[in-house]
Each structure stands twice: as C-alpha cells, then as structure tokens.
Chains A and B, each alone.
Chain A
Amino acid sequence: MHGQNRHHTEPLTEAAQVKALKAGDAVAWRDLLSRYGPSLLNYASSLLGDRGAAEEILQDSLVNIYRTIDRFEGRCSLKSWLYRGVHNRAIDEIRRRKRYVEVSADGLEDYFNEQGHWKHDCPGWDGLAAKQLDEKRVLSVVRQEMDRLPHMHREVLLMKDVEGLKTSEICAALEISAGNLRIRIHRARVALRTALSITLSVPLRAAVVG
C-alpha cells in the first residue's frame, strides 16, 4: 500500500473512498474512523459488555482492517465489511473467555396450548412500580438486560435496533441469510421482552414516552 495525503473538500462516493483507502490516503482513513468508529466502538462494547476490552478489540480490528484493505473487493458495503471485522474479532474474544453461549429456545412454546392459543393471559406491563421509574432508569435496565442476552441475540439487536443498520448490511456483516436474520431478530426481541417482564412490572411506554 502506498501512502498519500489528499485534502478532501466534498464527501467521496464509496468507490472513490475505497480507492483512497487502498492508496493509503490519511485523510480518507481519518474520515472513515470518524464516521464509523463511534458506532463500531458502541457495538463492540455492547457485545462484549466491557468497554476497556472493546477499545482494544476496536484498535486491533481497525489496524487489521487497514492492513487488509487491499482484500476488500466491494462485494458488500464498506460499512458491512467494517462491522464484520470488528464483530469477528469480538466473537473470538468472547470464545476465548469461554462466554460463548448457544442460543437457547425462546420458551414461547410454553405460552400456548396444543391449539396455539394462550394458556394464560399475557401479563401486562402496568404494575405499580412503573410510576417510580423515570426514562433514564428504564433505559439503564434495558441496557443491563441487553448485556445479559446470549451474543447471537445481542449482536442482531445491536446492529438492527441500536445501530440502525439495514438488513442487507447486517446479513453481509454476519454472513447470514435474510431469513436467518429475521428469525434471530425476533428471538432477540422476545428474549429481551421476557427479561424486561421479569425485571420490570411497569408501563414502559408511559415511562419512556410520557
């Protein structure tokens, strides 16, 4: 890779940006890190549940991305490629720490009888404790419960609902099909709902929106 420094006055197209990155353009690299770095750090931190480890993972990943940028062939977006790099490195770390947890059944089958009807009434979130919680507290509980989800649930929830990646971007980053992603996202939300139902017997909507 041959380094260059150019001064960009207008945003580059993705193709031009990739070309500049491959040419070792320092401005392009700074732009890239500024644009995606915060989200990638947020993602790694949420996935690992450890901000310090996430910083190290992100540093390693970005340096590795710099050294392997020549291998980027444009089969997916640059954003997906970056997420894939950070994601794979974070999953390696989770496995290394033996925190890897296979996705368990979501338990929904316990809710329904053989005819597919509810066995019992779906419990509401309108308990008395609701009135004592403010928005910040509710979001803090949501964050805690997200951190406790198995990583296969957490990673899709983070990419989809928290980071706002498109379906195609997530599929490319995780190398999974759209159908698989839809199942994972649903199970993740169901798991988070179950966790929140146990922790909070509160009218969350009222607490957040009201």
Chain B
Amino acid sequence: MMYLQCAKVVDKISDIMDGHASILVRMRFHGHLLLCKNCRRYYDQLRTVRTLSGQVKSVDLLTELPDDFGQVMDFVMAEIEPEIEPEKGEKDA
C-alpha cells in the first residue's frame, strides 16, 4: 500500500467523515491512522468539532427561537397578506 504523508492525511479528514472518499483512499487513510498517533488525535478532534457544531443548533432553537420567530412571521405575513386576495367566502363573511 502506498505511503501517505501526514499532511495529506489531515487534508482528507473531512472527505472521509462526509463520505466523499473512495474505498481505496479510506483504506489508506485508516491504515495510516493505525500507525500515526498524531494524525489519529487530529482526526478525533475534527470529528469532535463536527459533532459539537451539529449540537449548537438544538440549543439555540430550543432556548431562543420561538418568540423571535413569531415576530418575524407576523411582520412578513402582514407585509404579504394585503397583496393576497381573500377567498370569496371569506370576503363575504
């Protein structure tokens, strides 16, 4: 199996994590990790970064969004609804 430099391995981490690498590249990548403590550590850290950035969403949406978004919705619908003609039934009601 062809030798991979650490610099190349680090460059491929996101492609590996996101499923964009071929089987051959994945095999060489993981083969390198078995032998290289530093690349293994860097890989673990980038995986953690991805996990953490994915978790930011739920925190923000659950604790901050509802009130803010209600106001935005009200504004937008107030802007566009006058341009939307009501149904005949609603107009007559």
Chain A residues closer than 8 Å to B68, beta-carbon distance: 41, 51, 55
Q: Check B53–A162 contact: CB distance below 8 A.
A: yes
Chain A residues closer than 8 Å to B81, beta-carbon distance: 26
Interface Cβ pair total, 8 Å cutoff: 157
Q: Check A208–B55 contact: CB distance below 8 A.
A: yes
Is A88 part of the contact surface with B, judged by Cβ < 8 Å? no
| Interface residues of chain A: helix, strand, loop or mixed (majority) | helix
Contact A38-B45, Cβ < 8 Å, known A4-B85, A30-B77: no
Chain B residues closer than 8 Å to A172, beta-carbon distance: none
Interface size counted on chain B using CB atoms at 8 A:
51
Q: Provide the bound-state CA to CA distance between A7 and B41, in Å.
A: 55
Q: Check B72–A59 contact: CB distance below 8 A.
A: yes
Q: Check A4–B87 contact: CB distance below 8 A.
A: yes
Is A189 part of the contact surface with B, judged by Cβ < 8 Å? yes
CB nearest neighbor in B for A118: B38
Chain A: interface size category: 35 or more
Chain A residues closer than 8 Å to B75, beta-carbon distance: 59
| Interface residues of chain B: helix, strand, loop or mixed (majority) | helix
Q: Check B48–A205 contact: CB distance below 8 A.
A: yes
Contact A143-B56, Cβ < 8 Å, known A3-B83, A118-B6: yes
Within 8 A of B (CB), among A16-47: 24-26, 29-30, 33-34, 37-38, 41-42, 45-46
Chain A residues closer than 8 Å to B42, beta-carbon distance: 122
* Interface segment out of the listed A77-85, A90-98, A108-116: A108-116
Some 13 contacts from A to B, beta carbons below 8 A apart, are A3-B84, A3-B85, A4-B85, A24-B84, A37-B72, A42-B57, A45-B60, A63-B79, A121-B37, A122-B38, A139-B55, A161-B50, A186-B15
**Other contacts beyond A139-B55, A162-B56, A186-B15: 17, CB < 8 A:** A1-B83, A3-B86, A5-B87, A29-B77, A42-B57, A42-B65, A117-B5, A121-B38, A139-B52, A143-B56, A161-B50, A163-B57, A182-B14, A182-B18, A182-B20, A186-B13, A189-B14
